[in-house]
Amino acid sequence: MPVSSITYSIPYLLYLLVLVGLAFVEMRRLKYELDTRYIRWTVILSFLVFFGLRGFVFTDWIIYYRLFDIMPTLWDGGLETLQTVTEVFEADIEVGAAGYEMGFILSTFLFKSLIPNYFVWVFVNTLVDIWLLDLFIRRYSPYYVLSFVVFVAMGGLIIECNLMRNVKAILLFMVSLKYIEERRLLPYLALNLLGAMFHSSAIIFIPLYFFLHKTLPRWLLWTVFVVGNVIFLLKISYLQPLLVGLADVLGGRLGVQIKIYFALDMYNQPYGISLGYIERVATFLLLILLHKPLVALNNRNNLIINCYVIYFILFFFFSEVMIAVERLTLLFVFSYWVLYPLMYQLIKDTVIKWVSMIILVLFCSAKTITTSSSIFSRYDNLLIGIQDAETRKMIHDNNVDEFLKGRE
């Protein structure tokens, strides 16, 4: 089997096509002010079937399957054995291990004590994810289903299938945006500290409470755009000495992670010009152009706009380190899921609206293919039968080197 093939993307494209069809139905019903609740529930059900019943797809299942497999329960050693497991996953730079947060370990331990089945664990995690995602999209997006279309194309596949810890931190932050609107610090802190128990990256979200709701002046947006492109295009390097020094100060898991990333050549690579670069430049220019109309629609749109600005800064200002771009931008990629529907809402001309939708669907299809065309993402589902873990692990081990060489 080839390492990369568009055939691996077919199930993901079919799912995307289903969502696109539902998006058109929803828009028509919204136009005539008809009920769209059944469409929402159809999307939720399809999400649970597609993601919640998936087999061993993408790559990080190897880590989580092993963790779940060796995880003790209350019935076979309990908390004493749990201590042994946490020691196995402690941060250790010598072996390239960054460890796991205690909240994730403890929740997995408690779940397995009740239901010792990996696939049920994945399904319940997916159920929690779609619940949080639903809360966010219903609040901020004018087109519920269109947000899921963009979700699949823009980071959603990776976040949902590969990042079982990060996804909780990201989704809890997304839900906590409500409390920035309402200027309620305590519930905002509570949700993001809970997120930090699943992934330490949630600490980044805490200071955002104090400025994420602000309306950014246009001159600042242009400054970010110009400086970011200068750093990116001229490949100006300034991060590595700063971050390695910061790692010594921080210590702990974060310090270990930073040193690991710079120690491995596969992570310590710069980003180059690509179709993604063109898309980000175009999106940011559209954002500058539509900034005032977007804020005029609803002042809380500042939250989404500013999250995208942070996403842009992380990509362009951190481009010298590939892993920083790939990991940090995922924390704010959700801004796409609402920003594109918001921009689409501003279009009044019917012809331009249709052309924009065609372009968006084609773009989302291309992005989905890019994300899902490797052999590791070859989809299967419990309802139709899956390859066992040993076979998928063998496929991973036999192809990972060739895949990584293809990315260089």
Assess if residue 82 is contained within a domain: yes
Assess if residue 103 is contained within a domain: yes
Supply the range of the domain harboring residue 96.
74-110
CA gap 180, 212 in Å, rounded = 8
Assess if residue 83 is contained within a domain: yes
pLDDT at res. 95: 42
With a CB cutoff of 8 Å and minimum separation 6, the contacts of 174 are 132, 133, 136, 334
Assess if residue 87 is contained within a domain: yes
CA gap 399, 379 in Å, rounded = 16
CA gap 231, 43 in Å, rounded = 41
> Using 50, 70 and 90 to split pLDDT, how confident is the model at 263?
low
Assess if residue 178 is contained within a domain: no
Assess if residue 313 is contained within a domain: no
- For the segment 242-247, the average pLDDT, to the nearest whole number, is 64
Q: Which pLDDT tens digit goes with each residue over 312-358?
A: 999 998 877 776 677 889 999 999 999 999 999 999 999 999 999 99
With a CB cutoff of 8 Å and minimum separation 6, the contacts of 233 are 273
pLDDT at res. 238: 72
With a CB cutoff of 8 Å and minimum separation 6, the contacts of 210 are none
Q: Which pLDDT tens digit goes with each residue over 114-150?
A: 999 999 999 999 999 999 999 999 999 999 999 999 9
**Is the pLDDT confidence value at 408 over 60?**
no
In the chain, the number of structural domains is 1
Assess if residue 79 is contained within a domain: yes
142 near 342, Cβ under 8 Å?
Answer: yes
Q: What percent of the chain has pLDDT over 70?
A: 85
146 near 339, Cβ under 8 Å?
Answer: no
Residue type (1 letter), 407 = R
Assess if residue 233 is contained within a domain: no
Q: Which pLDDT tens digit goes with each residue over 283-302?
A: 999 999 999 999 999 999 99
Q: Compute the C-alpha angle 258/264/267, nearest 5°.
A: 75
* Residues across the chain: 408
**Is the pLDDT confidence value at 81 over 60?**
yes
Mean pLDDT of the chain: 88
Q: What percent of the chain has pLDDT over 90?
A: 71
Structure tokens at 11: 């199930």
Structure tokens at 79: 């908390």
Q: Please state whether the predicted TM-score (pTM) of the whole model is above 0.75.
A: yes
